[in-house]
Chain A
Amino acid sequence: MQRLVLVGNGMAGVACIEQVLKLAPSFDITIFGDETHTNYNRILLSSVLAGEKSLDEITLHPLDWYVDKGITLRLGVRIVDVDADAKTVTGDDGSVVEFDKLLLATGSSPVIPPIAHASKTGVFTFRNMGDARALLERAGPGVNAVVIGGGLLGLEAARGLQVQGCAVTVIHLVDTLMERQLDPTGGTYLTRKMERLGMRVLLSRRTTAVLGNGHVQGVELADGEQIDADLVVIAAGIRPNADLGRKAGLIVNRGIVVNDYMETSHPDIFAVGECAEHRNVCYGLVAPLLEQGKVLAATITGNRGPVYEGTVEASKLKIMGVDVFSAGDINEAAENESVRHEDPSLGIYKKIILAGGKLKGIVLVGDASESHRYMDWLRTGADLTAKRKHLLFPDPVEDVGFDVAAMPDSETVCGCLGVSKGAIIEAIHAQGMNTMAQLKQVTRASTGCGSCTNLCEQLLRAVAPRFEEETKSTLCACVPFSYEQLRDIVLSQKLKSVQEVLNIYGNRKGCEVCKPALSYMLDMVWCGEHEEDRSARFINDRVHANIQRDGSFSVVPRIRGGVTSPGELRRIADVAEKYSVRMVKITGSQRIDLLGVKKADLPKIWADLGMPSGQAYTKGVRMVKTCVGTDFCRFGVQDSTSAGIELERRLENLYTPHKTKMGAVGCPRNCAEATVKDIGLIGQEGSWQVVVGGAAGKKVRKADLLITVESTAQALEAAELFFQYYRENANYLERTYDFVERTGIEKVRKDTVYAPEPDRKKLLDRLERSKAIAKDAWLERETPFHPTQFTQIEPMEKVLV
C-alpha cells in the first residue's frame, strides 16, 4: 500500500484527500495537523465571531469521518522537517514518519507588520479557532478594540468584535478599504457603510507601536496620535507557509512552486492550497484551492491529465447587511471600459469593467444580488455587446430571481465548494431530496460562505419533486428577510432599534407593514429593553387608543375578568359626562368602551378614570373573559373568576404578535366562551383543561387541548408557557388560531408543557423579564413619551383669513 502523508489538516488538504479517496481508496493515509480540531470551515470563523454560528457548528469533518476512511490522524503535531531523499517527515514530538508521497497543505500565517511591541498580551491575529476563541473571550461591551488592516479579514473581524459589544476602530494603511478588491469609489461606499454600523474607520494611517505596560492599552500612529485599545487585532495580510518546501529542497518563491498538474520540483512531493504558488499566484480563497485539489488528486493517484490553469478570484465580504462583491481584474487600464451605477442614498455602487465586449472585472457594493450573473459572464467570457444597454439592470422578470433554467449545467453554483448546477440536479434526482438541509448535507453546496443559498433553493424548488419550503415568506419588500431570519439578525447583530434594522438590512425607509412588525420583534427579542421608536408604531400605539373613522379615539379601560364595582362604574359615568363621550358601550369582551374622544383629552380621561389601559387598541393582551364560577353559579366546579383575573394580571401590559384574548370558565358549559379564545381555561371536577388556538371572529375554530392539569397554579403556568411561546414564534399579525394550526399542536405541546424543565424555565424567565419592564401604557399621561404626543400644535402666529 502506498503511504500518503498530508501535512496540514486544513481546508485545501483535506478536500484534496477527499478527491484522492474517490479516485483511489487504497492509500494508507496519515494526516498531521498542528491545530487540535478536526478539519473545520475556516471561512466561518468570521460568522463565529459575529455570533451567527457556534464553534461546534463549523466542523467539516468530524472524527468519525477520519476513522471511517481508515486515516491515521495526528492532531496537535507540527511537522518541523522534511527529508526528501529519505522520504520522511519529522514531527515536533520527535516522531519520524515515512512516506511514498507527501502532500504539503500548510496554508498561510498572518503577516505582522513592523509595529513596535506587537507581541504584548492583548494583541491577536485572526486565522484559526484558537484565535476566534481568544477573541470571543476578551470581546464584550466596554472593550475598545482596534483592528489593524481594512481588508476582507480585518473588516469581518471588526464587525464581529462590534457585534460582541466592543467599540471598534479600524486602522488602514492605504486610502481605500479593501483596496485589492475595490476601486476608490467603491471603497468610499464601503467606508460609509462601516461607519454607519458605528465603527470608526481611519484611512491612510500607519500604526507604529502598540502601547501599554505588559497588557495592551492602545496603539500609536505615525502622526503621533494615540488610540485607546484593550484589544488589538492584526489583519494585515497573509504569508504562505512554505518553509517545509524549502527544507525539502523544493523550488520556492513566495509559495511552493507548482506546475499545472500541481507538481512541485520533486516527483513525490506535492503542494496545494495557500502554501502553493501557481503561475506566480498564491491564492487566498477557498474556491481556487478546491479546484487545485481536484487536479492534484488526479495527479497523485496516477491519473495525471487534468490541468489547473488558474482561477478568477471572487471575494465577498461576509458582513450581514454590507454587501460587497468583487471579482476579476478591476483596474481601469486604458484598453478597458467601465460601466457604473451609483445611488448614494441607497448606498449602492456597481461597476463592471469591459474589454473588447467581454467582462473583465466586477465591483458591487450595497447590492450583490446579481453577482452570479456577472460571474458567469466573467467565467465564460461571453460577448456582451448585445446586452450593453442593460448590463447593470436585468429585466424586471429576471430580477425576481436568477433564472436557474438558463444556467448551463456546468456552471458553478457554489463557488466555495465548487459544486456545479449539474451536480446538484443529479444529486436531487439520485437521492430524492426535497429540503435545503438535505441538499447541504449531500452536496455541501451553500455550506461555505452561504452566498449561493438562494440559488440552491431556486434549483431545489425547480427540480425537487416535493420541494419543502424552509424559510417562510419575507416580512416585506422593505426588509427582504423572513421572520426567522430577522429574529436571528436582530439577536445576533444586537440591533435594538427599528431604524437600525432598516438602515442596515432594508431600504432605510420602511413602511406601515414592516415598521410595526419590527417594533414588536425588537420588544419581544429584547424583553422590552429595545429602543422604542414611536414613529414606527401605528397611531393606536403612539397614543394608546383606537383611532375611529372620524379621527377621534375610543377608550377601553381594563376591567379584569369583566368584574367591576359600583364605584368604578360611577367614575366611568362621570368621565363620560365630563368629556361628552359620544357613546358608552358594553363591548363584546365584557368591558366598557367610551367612544369618540379627542386625542388631546386622552391623558385627562385616563387620569380621571384612574384605571389601567385595556389595550383594546393594540396587538397585545386584551381580556380574560370569565364567568361567575364557583362563587355564585350552582354548576361551578372551579373558581374561574379568580383564575381569570389572576391570568389577566400576569399577562396584562404585554404585547403579542396579534391580539390575544382569553377566557376562563368554571365548568364545561363554557359561558365565557373559553373554547373559542386564544387561550382558554376550562374548569372540570378536580382539574383544568388548558386550551389554545380557538377563534370566533373572521374564522371559527374550536381550541385545541394543550394539557389537563390538577391545580390552578399549573393551569396558569401552562397558559403562560404557551403565551410566551406564541410571542416568540408567531409571525407578526398571526393569531393563535393560525399559529397553532401552522405549528401543529403536538409540536406546541412538545415545546411548551412537555418541554424539559430547563427549557420551560427559560420561556418563563423571558416572560418574567418582559413583564418586569412592562408598564400600563396609560401612565404616559404623566410622563408622555414625547412632549407633543397628544397635542394639537398651536402656531406661534395667527393667520389672518
Chain B
Amino acid sequence: MTRENNWIRITKAENFPLREGRPVSLGGVEIAIFNLGDRFAAIENKCPHQGGPLCDGIVAGTAVVCPLHGWRFDLDTGAATRASLPVCVTIFPTRVEDGIVQVNVNGGSRIEMEDAA
C-alpha cells in the first residue's frame, strides 16, 4: 500500500527531537528530516554551496541554516532564503501515521530557479 503511494515509513516520530534534523538514506538519496513541532519537513540533505549536511543545521522557525557556512533554506519551499542566489534544495512531502514519520520519496519537488532568485 505505502509503496504504491511512494510513502516510505521511516521511524517513530520521537526519534526526531523537537526542532532538530536527522539524516536518512532512502535508495541512495540522502534526506534530512526535521521535527518542527506541529509537523515534519524533509529536504535533500546536501547544501548546494559545498555539500554541507543540512540535517545538522540550526532550525530557525521554518528554515534551516547550513552548519558549514550559514546558507539558509526554507523548509517549506526548499529555496535559499538569505543568500540572494538562485539556489534551492529538493523538498519531500511528509506525513505521520500511527506515530511513524513517512516520506514520499518520489514526491520530491524543486521550485523553479527564477522563483528563488
B26 engages A795 (CB within 8 Å): yes
Interface mask (B51-93 → A, CB under 8 Å = 1, otherwise 0) = 1110011111110010110100000000000000000000000
Tell whether B96 is near chain A: CB-to-CB under 8 Å: no
> What is the CB-to-nearest-CB distance from A501 to chain B, in angstroms, rounded to a whole number?
14
A509 engages B60 (CB within 8 Å): yes
A547 engages B8 (CB within 8 Å): no
A515 engages B58 (CB within 8 Å): yes
Specify the chain A residue showing the minimal Cβ separation from B10.
A795
Measured between beta carbons, the chain A residues less than 8 angstroms from B65 are: 511-512
Tell whether A788 is near chain B: CB-to-CB under 8 Å: yes
Specify the chain A residue showing the minimal Cβ separation from B46.
A551
Residue in contact with B20 in the complex, picked from A535, A547, A795, A799, CB distance below 8 Å: A535
Measured between beta carbons, the chain A residues less than 8 angstroms from B53 are: 547, 551
| Chain A contacts with B in 785-801, Cβ cutoff 8 A | 786-788, 791-801
> What is the CB-to-nearest-CB distance from B23 to chain A, in angstroms, rounded to a whole number?
5
Tell whether B43 is near chain A: CB-to-CB under 8 Å: no
Measured between beta carbons, the chain A residues less than 8 angstroms from B33 are: 793
Specify the chain B residue showing the minimal Cβ separation from A798.
B27
> What is the CB-to-nearest-CB distance from A544 to chain B, in angstroms, rounded to a whole number?
13
Chain A contact surface mostly: loop
Specify the chain B residue showing the minimal Cβ separation from A535.
B19
CA distance A511 to B64 in the complex (A): 9
CA distance A359 to B2 in the complex (A): 59
Given contacts A511-B58, A795-B24, contact A549 B68 (CB under 8 A): yes
Residues of B in contact (CB 8 Å), total 37
CA distance A533 to B59 in the complex (A): 12
B59 engages A535 (CB within 8 Å): yes
Specify the chain A residue showing the minimal Cβ separation from B6.
A799
Specify the chain B residue showing the minimal Cβ separation from A547.
B67
> What is the CB-to-nearest-CB distance from B78 to chain A, in angstroms, rounded to a whole number?
18
> What is the CB-to-nearest-CB distance from B34 to chain A, in angstroms, rounded to a whole number?
10
Among A533, A538, A797, A801, max chain B CB count under 10 A is at A797
> What is the CB-to-nearest-CB distance from B103 to chain A, in angstroms, rounded to a whole number?
8
> What is the CB-to-nearest-CB distance from B35 to chain A, in angstroms, rounded to a whole number?
9
B52 engages A793 (CB within 8 Å): no
B16 engages A539 (CB within 8 Å): no
B56 engages A549 (CB within 8 Å): no
A509 engages B8 (CB within 8 Å): no
> What is the CB-to-nearest-CB distance from A764 to chain B, in angstroms, rounded to a whole number?
34
B27 engages A800 (CB within 8 Å): yes
B52 engages A799 (CB within 8 Å): no
Tell whether B100 is near chain A: CB-to-CB under 8 Å: yes
Measured between beta carbons, the chain A residues less than 8 angstroms from B25 are: 792, 795
Residue in contact with A797 in the complex, picked from B8, B56, B70, CB distance below 8 Å: B8
Specify the chain A residue showing the minimal Cβ separation from B56.
A539
Given contacts A549-B50, A788-B17, contact A799 B27 (CB under 8 A): yes
Tell whether A561 is near chain B: CB-to-CB under 8 Å: no
A786 engages B9 (CB within 8 Å): no
A551 engages B52 (CB within 8 Å): yes
Measured between beta carbons, the chain B residues less than 8 angstroms from A149 are: none
> What is the CB-to-nearest-CB distance from A536 to chain B, in angstroms, rounded to a whole number?
7
Specify the chain A residue showing the minimal Cβ separation from B20.
A535
Given contacts A535-B18, A549-B68, contact A796 B59 (CB under 8 A): no
A793 engages B24 (CB within 8 Å): yes
Measured between beta carbons, the chain B residues less than 8 angstroms from A550 are: 51
B9 engages A795 (CB within 8 Å): yes
Among A792, A794, A795, A800, max chain B CB count under 10 A is at A795
B61 engages A510 (CB within 8 Å): yes
A786 engages B17 (CB within 8 Å): yes
Measured between beta carbons, the chain B residues less than 8 angstroms from A510 are: 60-61
B56 engages A793 (CB within 8 Å): no
Tell whether B109 is near chain A: CB-to-CB under 8 Å: no
Among A516, A547, A799, A801, max chain B CB count under 10 A is at A799
Measured between beta carbons, the chain A residues less than 8 angstroms from B58 are: 511-512, 515-516, 535-539
B9 engages A547 (CB within 8 Å): no
CA distance A511 to B61 in the complex (A): 8
Measured between beta carbons, the chain B residues less than 8 angstroms from A798 are: 27
Given contacts A551-B52, A551-B53, contact A799 B105 (CB under 8 A): yes
A795 engages B70 (CB within 8 Å): no
Measured between beta carbons, the chain A residues less than 8 angstroms from B52 are: 551
Measured between beta carbons, the chain A residues less than 8 angstroms from B70 are: 512
Tell whether A781 is near chain B: CB-to-CB under 8 Å: no
> What is the CB-to-nearest-CB distance from B77 to chain A, in angstroms, rounded to a whole number?
16
Measured between beta carbons, the chain A residues less than 8 angstroms from B15 are: 787-788, 793
Tell whether A534 is near chain B: CB-to-CB under 8 Å: yes
CA distance A516 to B59 in the complex (A): 12
Tell whether A508 is near chain B: CB-to-CB under 8 Å: yes
Among B23, B28, B61, B105, max chain A CB count under 10 A is at B61
B27 engages A788 (CB within 8 Å): no
A793 engages B27 (CB within 8 Å): no
| Chain A contacts with B in 703-723, Cβ cutoff 8 A | none
CA distance A537 to B19 in the complex (A): 11
Specify the chain B residue showing the minimal Cβ separation from A552.
B53
Tell whether B22 is near chain A: CB-to-CB under 8 Å: yes
Given contacts A539-B67, A549-B68, contact A792 B60 (CB under 8 A): no
| Chain A contacts with B in 484-530, Cβ cutoff 8 A | 507-512, 515-516
> What is the CB-to-nearest-CB distance from A797 to chain B, in angstroms, rounded to a whole number?
5
Specify the chain A residue showing the minimal Cβ separation from B53.
A551
Residue in contact with B28 in the complex, picked from A535, A542, A801, CB distance below 8 Å: A801
A796 engages B100 (CB within 8 Å): yes
Measured between beta carbons, the chain B residues less than 8 angstroms from A535 are: 17-20, 58-59
**20 A-B pairs with C-beta separation under 8 A:** A478-B60, A507-B61, A510-B60, A511-B60, A511-B65, A512-B58, A534-B17, A535-B18, A535-B19, A536-B58, A551-B53, A788-B15, A793-B15, A793-B24, A794-B24, A795-B26, A797-B3, A797-B9, A799-B105, A800-B3
Binding site for B on A (CB under 8 A): 478, 507-512, 515-516, 533-539, 542, 547, 549-551, 786-788, 791-801
Binding site for A on B (CB under 8 A): 2-3, 8-11, 15-20, 22-28, 33, 50-53, 56-62, 65, 67-68, 70, 100, 105
Q: List 7 other contacts, CB 8 Å, given A536-B19, A795-B10, A798-B27.
A: A539-B56, A551-B56, A786-B20, A793-B24, A796-B11, A796-B100, A801-B27
